[in-house]
Amino acid sequence: MKVLNLSLLIVIIDQISKILVKGISIPFLNINITGMEYGQSIPVIGEIFKFTFVENPGMAFGINVDGYFKLFLSLFSLLASVAIVVYIYKVRNQKLLFRIALALILGGAVGNLIDRFFYGIIYGYAPLLYGRVVDFLHFDALGFTIFGKTFDSFPIFNVADSSVTIGVFILLIFHKSFEESSKAENNQDSNVVVPANAEIGNGDSIRESNQISN
């Protein structure tokens, strides 16, 4: 379960980066982070890679959803995160890389889940579960079409999105290796031989017990 530390690290980095971008004011703690203006871009590598502050009310990489589907998405993300934690415990003896992939997915899911659950309340624009996800990593190139929507550049995303994507890619690339490792472990468990002298309740022991009792 130590891989959950990686999930926690992802959540911390993701939330700190979002707060620095969006800004926050907590007067009683004397905290006042200005953040960026909505839509503002700060070039990092020329015009190829920039920090661009936008908010996404829907899914990862700018895929927009609203209404009841957004509520469903928030609740589903919560249940999925709990399920991943349980599954990580279940496969705690499997390959480290497999567990790292799951931890990356979990960290990213929880990072965006915090936005959806609490940002609307914290920033005063929406009720619980209806917050918007903060995105800011912007590769201004590589236009493409997905789900019928055309993007002139790669969708703006965040640290949590990156973590989920990396975790999924690890699972896709190494899934055969993970399956073989799991099968080998199951076969090893099924081939365990119990010594004959370790049998419980054999005839000799029963007769000896009866003689003692008589």
Question: d(Cα 176, Cα 183) in Å, to the nearest integer?
Answer: 11
Q: Exactly one of 14, 115, 140, 161 is catalytic; name it.
A: 161
Known active-site residue 152:
no
Specify whether the CB–CB gap between 25 and 123 falls below 8 A.
no
What the block records as the tokens of 15 is 């939330």
- Classify the phi-psi angles of 24: left when phi > 0, otherwise alpha if psi is within -120 to 50, otherwise beta: beta
Q: Which of 135, 140, 189, 204 is catalytic?
A: 135
Cα 172 to the center of its chain, rounded Å: 16
66 flagged as catalytic: no
Phi then psi for residue 114, to 5 deg, are -60, -45
Which alpha helices (DSSP H) does the chain contain, by range?
4-22, 67-90, 96-114, 120-122, 159-190, 203-213
List active site positions. Answer: 135, 161
